[in-house]
Amino acid sequence: MTVLVTGASGFVGCHLVEALLQRGIPLRVAQRQGTDKSPHRKVGVVNLSGAGYSPDDWDGAVSGCNVVVHLAARAHVLRDVSVSPQHAFERANVDFALACAGAAAKSGVRRFIFMSSAGVHGGASGKRPINADDDFLAHTLYAQSKAVAERKLADAVRGTGMELTVLRPPLVYGAGAPGNFGALVRAVSAGWPLPLGSVTGNQRSFVSIDNLVSLIVTCLDHPAAANRRFLVSDGEDCSTADFLRRMSAAMGRQARLLPFPVGWLATGAKLLGKQDMFQSLCGSFQLDISQTRQVIGWSPPYTLDEGLQRCFVTKS
């Protein structure tokens, strides 16, 4: 089995490539011409013959591969300067993926693993945890582009013989993680006071990078993963305040959590137009991964506390 990884220079990609190397699984990574971002000196790098938006650009990359893990995506854009952010997300997260999948199907690739997002189901879990069969309710441009990509990929691979496996993670944390987790780590490290001490009534799902990589590796060749969609998490939910306390404990520090009433935070977020940020910190977002456990027999190898501890272990 030979695996092609796209987005190998990203946070998830770097960890996945390292895991595949440790397991002795033959692999290569794909990148655009003129870029030299891959930190993996032991891995063969294939340059695309074009920008990556045409299946022909991917012919050399997918040739001879059995599995493609498509991680390349546009995400964590804090200050978007694109003329059309929606077009930019769709170009990177939909068109790029479709071109890769089209070339893979034509080349005889057996399985295409697409990294989506639990955000396709919206930003809140409501009265019960979200399951993989729930409707799409994506409300951010990133999540909307992932939902569109999922639908179009399903149509594109139908009848080709290539299997499609979709993974939908929540917030992914780990050493060097970008986005919200990285911002929280910096805030705790700097000793900044955070007005989240009273955010104890919500419940959120998280997934450590090690647990996510474990699921990807399981899906490479598990027969039951063919043409399935899986939610993934650590299998243990907690409140925002609890997560911050456990994270700071793993860092060997004490988080400065101020007990601001959640109602005050909601009002402030509304006045500042930061409702999405409020929801991501104070709302509930629980995932039901029982289907993932049952279908492929996968369970998170690390608990939430173990995953957090692994974020801050200094490697010799």
Tell how strand 206-208 and strand 171-173 pair up: parallel
Q: Which residues contact 72 (CB under 8 A, 6 or more apart)?
A: 6, 7, 10, 92, 96, 97, 100
Please name which of 153, 142, 175 lies closest in space to residue 68, comparing C-alpha atoms: 153
Please name which of 70, 23, 40 lies closest in space to residue 218, comparing C-alpha atoms: 23
Q: Which residues contact 155 (CB under 8 A, 6 or more apart)?
A: none
Euclidean distance between CA atoms 80 and 84, whole angstroms: 9
Radius of gyration of the chain (CA): 20
Contact 90, 45 (CB under 8 A): no
Look up tokens 């790098």; give the residue.
45
Six token digits for residue 260? 């601001």
DSSP 8-state secondary structure symbol assigned to residue 168: E
DSSP class per residue in 93-125: IIIHHHHHHHHHHHHT-SEEEEE--GGGG-S--
Cβ atoms < 10 Å from Cβ of 159: 8
Question: Which residue of the set 53, 142, 173, 302 is catalytic?
Answer: 142
Cβ atoms < 10 Å from Cβ of 4: 27
Please name which of 199, 311, 176, 198 lies closest in space to residue 252, comparing C-alpha atoms: 311
Q: Is 53 a known active-site residue?
A: no
Q: Show which residues are catalytic.
A: 142
